[in-house]
Amino acid sequence: MNKEFLDARRLLCPLPVIRVQDKVKQLNAGDRLRVVATDPGVMQDIPAWCRINGHRVLQTEEKHGEFFIVLEVGVQ
């Protein structure tokens, strides 16, 4: 299991989700991706994208105006 990081700060919708999608294509099932963003929309957009595409959100957190999401890559 790889643990990867994606910095999507200062990007506005839909770019954070597009960057997550591009990164996940490079990963394997079971890998984890930690995303940090400054657009609050990611707290709904990324989990919705995960549900549609078979990935699992493990954690969401907001801290000091930044939004963190950890997801586990499903079978693609």
Of 15, 71, 75, 76, the residue nearest 41 (C-alpha): 15
The model's pLDDT over 17-65, given as tens digits with 9 standing for 90+, comes to: 999 999 999 999 999 999 999 999 999 999 999 999 999 999 999 999 9
Closest CA to 4 of 75, 19, 18, 62: 19
pLDDT value, residue 61? 98
Report the alpha-carbon distance of residue 22 to residue 24 in Å, rounded: 6
pLDDT at residue number 8: 98
Mean predicted confidence (pLDDT) in 10-16: 97
Break the chain into its structural domains and give their ranges: 3-72
Q: Per the residue annotation, which of 9, 11, 13, 68 is the catalytic one?
A: 13
pLDDT at 53: 98
Catalytic (active site) residue 13:
yes
CATH fold for domain 3-72: Translation Initiation Factor IF3 (3.30.110)
